[in-house]
């Protein structure tokens, strides 16, 4: 199970454009985000603060995650 979490964290860091980072850095930049999930026109949207330094990295990673096709 540890290998799966490591690989997922590693892939997330690369998707956000952070490169090879340690888990603590990933946690402080991507995972712990002062954001709100809002619904607009029946679509969920992630509202990020404008001053957050990694907002563009998070938007890029979310765009990659949304582009993954559903299984089945």
Query: What integer is the mean pLDDT of 4-32?
Result: 80
| Ranges of each domain in the chain | 2-66
d(CA 16, CA 24): 15
pLDDT band at 55 (very low <50, low <70, confident <90, very high): confident
Question: What is the signed CA dihedral for 11, 56, 33, 6, rounded to 10 degrees?
Answer: 10
pLDDT band at 21 (very low <50, low <70, confident <90, very high): confident
pLDDT tens profile 34-53: 888 888 888 888 888 888 88
Question: What's residue 40's pLDDT?
Answer: 84
Question: What is the signed CA dihedral for 41, 46, 52, 54, rounded to 10 degrees?
Answer: -130
pLDDT band at 19 (very low <50, low <70, confident <90, very high): confident
Which whole-number Å values give the CA distances from 71 to 4, 8, 9, 64, in the listed order? 18, 17, 21, 16
């Amino acid at each position: 199970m540890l290998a799966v979490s490591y690989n997922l964290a590693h892939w997330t860091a690369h998707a956000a454009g952070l490169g090879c980072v340690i888990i603590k850095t990933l946690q402080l930049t991507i995972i712990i985000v002062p954001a709100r999930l809002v619904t607009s026109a029946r679509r969920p949207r992630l509202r990020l603060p404008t001053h957050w330094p990694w907002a563009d990295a998070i938007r890029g990673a979310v765009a990659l995650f949304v582009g993954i096709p559903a299984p089945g």
